[in-house]
Every structure is written in structure tokens, then in C-alpha cells.
Structure 1
Amino acid sequence: MATLFLSTAKTFLPILLSSPPPSSPTPTLPVLAHKHNPRPQLSQCRAVSDSPPPPPYPPILTKRSLSLSLTSTFLVSIAGQLGHSAANAAILEADDDEELLERVKKDRKKRLERQGVISSFNKERAYLQDLVYQLSKVGQAIENNDLTAASSVLGQSIDTDWVQKANLAFTKFSSSSEEKTEIDTFNTSLASLISSVVQKDIEASKLAFVSSASAFEKWTALTGLVGQLKGL
């Protein structure tokens, strides 16, 4: 059997070697599809070409870039607010300067007018200078606890000559309500001082003297006489 198989193989082997190998079938292209429907591919290409370009990729935000952006925005906002505030402050300062200048002008005008009045009332100014002298003697006597010496200067009431003359000067130089208030305070305190000295009350005399002297000093400051009288 083996011999038969070998002989058969010898018979068919030359035939197989001499015959050309079968070629693989050539694939046929879909010609019919191209012939009957050529436009879908063109329309597909056109659709692709006509489509808008894809949107750009969004910027990549990092913590550092976000922090810088927020900081820049904050600084711009602060700068705008500061500029606005500075402008308002400049306007307010200009208004304040104008008001201050007007006030200075009015005060200077009033002071000059008052100086003219003071210069024209030499007799009344002499009355006030005598008042300063008399109060100085009373104050020294009270400081030494010598109420007898204080009483000899003050008298028994406010009807003494030097007190009456002082009130005449008060009337000449006083024009405002504040000045008149200080005059009333002075006369009330002086009456209390005289009464305390008569009663030999040293503590009450000291308090009354301080009150009357303070009222007189305030009045001279209001009227501009503080630099015109010696001993103040």
C-alpha cells in the first residue's frame, strides 16, 4: 500500500509542479456604487470643510494666575476708590480753607474795631487798671489771712467808688452776651467776697476771690483787653 501511495505521488507530483499556482481572486471595486451615487462622498467632504473650526481650548487656570488676577482687580478697585476719596478730600479741604480764611478775616476785623474802641476810651481803661490794682491788694491780704486789710479795700458793699467806675468801663467795652454774662458773674462773686470778708470766713473768702478774679480774666480775654492792662 505504501508502494502504491508512493507511485501515485510520483504520478501527480510532476503535474502539480508544472501547473501554475491558483491566483487569488481579484477583489472587485463597487463600481456600481460609484456610478449610481457619487455625491454622498462629495457632500460629506463639503460638510466637513464647511463646518466651523473647533473652539479654542480654554486657558488653563492655576492657583498662581487666579491669585494674580484677583490681586490686580483688587488693586485697581482700591486705586479707584483712593482717587475718588482723594478728590473729595481735596474739595473738602478747599472748602475748609475758605471757611477758615473768612473766619480769620472776620476775627481780625473785629479785633481791629475793638482796638479802636479801646484806644478811644482811655478813661474807662484807667478804671479797669485800677480794678486790677485793687483786686491784687485784696488777693494778697486774703493769702496772708488778713481779712481786716481785705475789708479796708473792699468796703462794706459793691457801692465803693472803684467798683462803680469798673462797672462803667464794663458797659463801655461789652457788646456780646458772653461778655455781659462774665460781668454778672464778676459782680455776684465780688458781692459774695465782700460778705465773706465781713463775716471773717477765710475759706469762703478765698473761693469767692478766685471766682471773681476768673470772671474778670475771661471778660478781658473776650474784649481784647487782656494785653492792654498790666498785672493780668
Structure 2
Amino acid sequence: MAKSLLSTAKTILPLTSSSPSPSSSPNACIFPHSNNVKKSNSSIMTQCKAISESVRLISPILTKRSLTINFTTILTLSLAGKGFFDANAAILEAEDDLELLEKVKKDKQKRIERQELFSASPTETAYLQELVYKLGKVGQAIQDNKLSVASSVLGPTINADYIKQANRAFSKLSSSPEEKTEVDTFNSALASLITSVSQRDITSTKIAFVSSVVSLEKWTTLAGLIGQLKGL
């Protein structure tokens, strides 16, 4: 293509036998060594300048054409590959949907099993319901700034019977390490609550009470027993 365009340029600027011929370099001219050829320096330089200008005008045409070809090629490849990428995306999306569906099924099955276990454990259910009931009374007493009432409800130590019974229920109904860890967190917060109430430290009492309730609610969620205990 370049040779063809260069020939066209030579045609546009016809050369006679007495005219200098351009070399392969657009900025160079070959001057024929002939005694019969008598051209002034100005005439020779004029033709060299004309040829150089012609080649310079050709270069942008070549560049634009090359860019057009490259752009067309890239666009074609992009369009051709679009279907491939869409297909892969669809496959990945389908796999994600299947994994999500499988997870939902497992979670639902676990929740059903835990609810059945909870329903089949009326004694443990009663222990936990008693715990929630006592915490409710303690919370009301703290809100009314009646720490003596809160102390009488909680008991003097963590070894109160209702706490022991609640822990037996926790042990039976907890199956995962996360649930057991949350039980430990609850017992620690409850011990802090009892101590703070006995010391009449209202600020520490409020903090410990909130920690106790949050831990109990979190255990209920992990155990799949949301809505099974009244008051939570």
C-alpha cells in the first residue's frame, strides 16, 4: 500500500529525464551527474521540497488508515468475545444462586430441627423463660433507679438456682462453638451485673445489664430460637 501511494505521488509530480529523482528517503534528492543537465540550484531545491511535502501529506493518510483498521479489529474482537463473557457470567451467577439456595435450605432445616428440640424440652424452656422474666424485672428496677429491688431479684451470687437451671438449658440447646462462647459471655456479664448492683454502682450496672441482654439475644439467634422466648 505504501509503494502504491508513493507511486501516486510520483505521478502527481511527473519527473522528466532532466529532473532529479527522489531517493527512498523523503527528505533526500539524488542529483544526476551529467554535463548535459543544467539546472539551477533553486529549481532542484523546489522539486525536492515538493516531493518531501507530498510524502509528508501521505503519512497522515497511512496513520489514519492503520488506526481505522486497528480500531475495527478491536471492536470486532470485543463483540465476538461479548457472548463468551456473558456466558461465563451466566454460569457463575447460576452457581452462586445454587449455593445460596442450598444454604437457605440448610438454614431452614437447622431452624426446624432446633425448634423441634426446643418444643421437646419443656423443662429447659421453662428455665430460660424464668431467666428472661427475671431480667425484665431487673431492667425495670434499674430504670427506676431501685438497685435494692434489682439485687433481690438477681440474688447475691452467680450460683443462684435459676442461673444454674438456665445453664443446664443452655448446655442442652447449644450445639455450635459460637453458641457456647455466647453462653460464657452471658454468664460473665451477669456476674458483673450482680456485683455492680450489690455495690450500688448505677453506671456499671446499666452497662452490665445491656451486655447480659445482648448476649442472651445473640445466643437465641445463633440457636435458631428467635421468637420462642417471650420478652426477647
Q: Give the structure-1-normalised TM-score.
A: 0.70
Gap runs ≥5 in structure 2: 9-57
Aligned to 2:98: 98
**Is the Cα contact below 8 Å between 2:147 and 2:197 reproduced in 1?**
yes
Aligned to 2:208: 208
Deviations 1:93-118 (A, max 9, x none): 12212211221221122112112111
Aligned to 2:229: 229
Aligned length: 177
Aligned to 1:186: 186
Q: Distance in 2 between matches of 1:192 and 1:111?
A: 32
Q: Which amino acid aligns with 2:217?
A: E
Matched, 1:69 2:69: yes
State how 1:1-232 maps to structure 2 within 5 Å: 68-232=68-232
Deviation at 1:65, TM superposition (A): 5.8
Find the residue that maps to 2:183 and give its secondary structure: helix
Q: Which amino acid aligns with 1:173?
A: L
Q: Percent identity?
A: 56
Deviation at 1:69, TM superposition (A): 3.5
Deviation at 1:68, TM superposition (A): 4.6
Deviations 1:48-104 (A, max 9, x none): xxxxxxxxx679967776555343222112223332321221221122122112212
Deviation at 1:161, TM superposition (A): 2.2
Q: Which amino acid aligns with 2:209?
A: F
Deviation at 1:138, TM superposition (A): 0.5
Larger-Rg structure: 1
Deviation at 1:212, TM superposition (A): 0.9
Find the residue that maps to 2:200 and give its secondary structure: coil
Deviation at 1:119, TM superposition (A): 1.2
Q: CA RMSD in A?
A: 2.2
Q: Give the structure-2-normalised TM-score.
A: 0.70
Gap runs ≥5 in structure 1: 1-56
Q: Which amino acid aligns with 2:156?
A: Q
Q: Distance in 1 between matches of 2:62 and 2:192?
A: 86
Find the residue that maps to 1:159 and give its secondary structure: coil
**Runs of at least 4 residues of structure 1 off by over 6 A?**
none
Q: Which amino acid aligns with 2:196?
A: S
**Is the Cα contact below 8 Å between 2:111 and 2:225 reproduced in 1?**
no
Q: Distance in 1 between matches of 2:152 and 2:103?
A: 47
Find the residue that maps to 1:224 and give its secondary structure: coil
